[in-house]
Amino acid sequence: MVRINPHYGKLQSSYLFSDIARRIAKFQEANPGRNIIRLGIGDVTQPLPPACIEAFHKAVDEMAMENNFRGYGPEQGYDFLREAISENDYHAVGADISPDEVFVSDGAKCDTGNFQELFASDAVIAVPDPVYPVYVDTNVMAGRTGAFVNGRYDGLVYLSSVRENNYVPALPDRPVDVIYLCFPNNPTGATATREQLSEWVAYARDHKALILFDAAYEAFIRDPEIPHSIFEIDGAREVAVEFRSFSKTAGFTGTRCAFTVIPKTCMVYDDAGNPSPLFNLWNRRHTTKFNGVSYPVQRAAAAIYTDKGKRQVRGLTDYYLKNARKIRGVISKLGFYCIGGDNSPYIWIQVNGDSWAFFDRLLNDAAVVTTPGSGFGSCGEGYIRISAFSQYEKVEEAMDRLQNILG
Ligand code: MLT
């Protein structure tokens, strides 16, 4: 008899964005003529930058020639990409990260989801609330939580990110082992200052804890004071891992390429308290379970670091930030409190009522898809998230519709 992993039984019925997709499909079936505008899941709409396309084509052509053909690549990624990442994403901002501390992968969702398997089953996990559901659900699957009670899993330490703290959580009030942080934040769009990140690094160093820092949205930062990487903070190399993605930066959601940075000086501990490099554990896992991102995709990703690529990525992220400004302007004019959208593609809006009811109202009355805040955690109740990933004309149309029904 094959017995199921009992921890799956604790999960909510389905993944947030699958749930939303089902509601949209049902609405569309009932209203075949309605033109739905999707500002829910953060999926990009603009094509890959021309520099990436050019590099992609060239690499495919290389694969057609026997003397340039490539089979399995290094699981951790090709040197040309790891070197470009180390130079442009880290050395350029004064962060000391070497190419061999970079693990190229097929997504930050997969990496943030898989990373928890390196930790003891009784590790104490801290997550912000609201939070990207992947951090929580994967720890539930691994058996690190109890039951789901009143919107929270027993055993997890929730760090409330609310209006009173500007959506940057306070340090935990008890010792924790693993801390998930995401800035610019998904879903709130909040950013953390250098001082705030320094407090987290100091906490992690004091408690021999580990920070899992998700920086998937760093390319949207425009404020020069906001750090792009946790490794800009002194002391972070010993206590942090960083996840990055080409998805939102350069339109790779369908193409798949991301990376995780693990400094060789970052330590984790065995039962006797002996330190051991986290790098070795992830390297073991990565080489066992992953066979690398395809060569053409890595070539396409590396093209974002050329002068042309950098300009095009800036244009792409500026485009979505223009959408975000439009959304924020209209929503504020309608009298709602909101944050995000200035250094982030997400706008977090206080709607003061049931999140799902508000989501349904916007879907039914305006055919506009958003994401209900409560899907990201109990502190998200009373909020919705609007994503700026869409065409500008559609955003304008969606905002006209919202003004009509809410104005
Ligand atoms: C989101 O909408 O929160 C993201 O698109 C989800 C993801 O990146 O997996």
User: Which 8-state DSSP code applies to residue 235?
Assistant: T
375 CB under 6 A from ligand 1? no
Pocket test for ligand 1, best of 38, 41, 376 (most atoms within 8 A of CB): 41
CA of residue 247 to ligand 1 center, whole Å: 10
Distance between CA atoms of 380 and 140, rounded to whole angstroms?
A: 19
186 CB under 6 A from ligand 1? yes
Ligand 1 atom, smallest distance to 132 CA: 3
Banded model confidence at residue 130, pLDDT cuts 50, 70, 90 = very high
Tell me what pLDDT residue 14 has: 79
Pocket test for ligand 1, best of 15, 110, 186, 246 (most atoms within 8 A of CB): 186
42 CB under 6 A from ligand 1? yes
CA of residue 189 to ligand 1 center, whole Å: 13
Tell me what pLDDT residue 352 has: 87
CA of residue 130 to ligand 1 center, whole Å: 14
CA angle (331, 334, 339) in 5-degree steps: 35
Tell me what pLDDT residue 284 has: 98
Task: Render pLDDT for 312-342 as a digit per residue (tens, 0 to 9).
Answer: 999 999 999 999 999 999 999 999 999 999 9
CA of residue 216 to ligand 1 center, whole Å: 10
Q: What are phi and psi of 387, to 5 degrees?
A: -95, 140
Q: State whether the Cα torsion 179-182-186-192 is positive or negative.
A: positive
Ligand 1 atom, smallest distance to 41 CA: 2
Distance between CA atoms of 169 and 162, rounded to whole angstroms?
A: 8
Task: Render pLDDT for 5-54 as a digit per residue (tens, 0 to 9).
Answer: 999 999 987 788 999 999 999 999 999 999 999 999 999 999 999 999 99
Tell me what pLDDT residue 13 has: 75
Structure tokens at 57: 């084509």
pTM over 0.95: yes
Tell me what pLDDT residue 201 has: 98
Tell me what pLDDT residue 139 has: 98
Bridge-based pairing state of the strands 346-350 and 383-387: antiparallel
151 burial via Cβ count (<10 Å: 0-12, 13-18, 19+): middle
Structure tokens at 250: 């350069």
Task: Render pLDDT for 57-88 as a digit per residue (tens, 0 to 9).
Answer: 999 999 999 999 999 999 999 999 999 999 99
Structure tokens at 216: 């998937």
Residue whose Cα lies nearest atom 9 of ligand 1: it is 109
Read off the amino acid at residue 271.
D
Residue-by-residue DSSP string for 154-193: TT-EEEE--GGGTT-PPPPSS--SEEEEESS-TTT-----
CA of residue 162 to ligand 1 center, whole Å: 20
Task: Render pLDDT for 173-195 as a digit per residue (tens, 0 to 9).
Answer: 999 999 999 999 999 999 999 99
Average pLDDT, the chain: 97
41 CB under 6 A from ligand 1? yes
Ligand 1 atom, smallest distance to 247 CA: 8
Angstrom CA distances, 301 to 22, 283, 316, stand at 32, 21, 15
CA of residue 187 to ligand 1 center, whole Å: 9
CA of residue 374 to ligand 1 center, whole Å: 15
Q: What are phi and psi of 404, to 5 degrees?
A: -65, -40
Bridge-based pairing state of the strands 267-269 and 346-350: unpaired
- Residues paired with residue 275 on neighbouring β-strands, in sequence order: 269
Q: Helix, strand, or coil here: 372?
A: strand
Instruction: Express as a percent the part of the chain with pLDDT over 70.
Output: 100
CA of residue 42 to ligand 1 center, whole Å: 5
Pocket test for ligand 1, best of 132, 188, 385 (most atoms within 8 A of CB): 132
Number of Cβ within 10 Å of residue 32's Cβ equals: 6
